[in-house]
Amino acid sequence: MTGEALSIELESGGGRRRCLVAHRAGERARMVRFVLAPDGTVVPDVDERLPGRGLWITAERSALTEAVRRNLFAKAAATAARPPADLAERVEAAVRRRCLDLLGLARRAGCVVVGFEQVEAALEAGGVGLVLTARDAGSQALKLRRLAGDVPLFSSLERAELGRALGRDELVYVAVEAGGLARRLERELVRLEGLVRGTRPSAPGGSGTQEGGDDR
């Protein structure tokens, strides 16, 4: 586990949170907030809206597992804490929902293009904030990765999930226009990739792609 595993809100607020394990601040955007319910249950607060003292953990499955194993929630809060056995799965599901909700918002705002050729053309024209390829995308995803350059590319969502979020049956390639929605979505996708890492096989290079598959 990295030194940024468990953190607690800095009194000064802002974009960083102090890590109790490493005794230094880490990026809030790469963390997940938790609070304790009145009965001591550990509750993920991925929206960062629940009242109470915030306990922050790096958005990595291994960090969540380590925090539960070492009873770090209780140590940080100085009181009894009961994390659910499936805490990592709950957090991943909540962050995944946020990603799909933001994709839906981007579609309604007209900020999305879908399909390999359309995404390729959008990248060549410029103005793309991020690209998504389905986790089981075909080999064309490697071409998009090279073409994307510095544009963030993510591959933690399934083609059925992308399709549902964007009003289709299935989708493999999606580009989101640069802007506020793309920045918000990027934050959630970064967290999601940390949470799914180690739970599913990835192709070499971290692209999440594999040979074959129907490209859409």
Per-residue pLDDT of 113-152, as tens digits, reads 999 999 999 999 999 999 999 998 988 899 999 999 999 9
Mean pLDDT of 6-23: 49
**What does the pLDDT read at residue 204?**
29
Structure token pair of residue 13 = 């607020």
Does pTM top 0.85 for this prediction?
A: no
Given a contact cutoff of 8 angstroms between Cβ atoms, the answer to whether 164 and 100 are in contact is yes
Mean pLDDT of 64-81: 90
**What does the pLDDT read at residue 152?**
96
pLDDT surpassing 50 at residue 53: yes
Report DSSP state, residue 73. H
Please give the domain boundaries of the chain with CATH numbers for all domains: 6-84 (3.30.1230.10), 90-206 (3.30.1330.30)
**Backbone φ and ψ of 180, nearest 5°:** -60, -40
Per-residue pLDDT of 163-203, as tens digits, reads 999 999 999 999 999 999 999 999 999 999 999 975 543 33
Kindly provide the b/e burial profile for residues 136-157, where b requires at least 16 CB atoms within 10 angstroms of the residue's own CB.
bbbebbbebbeebeebbbbbbb
Mean pLDDT of 97-101: 97
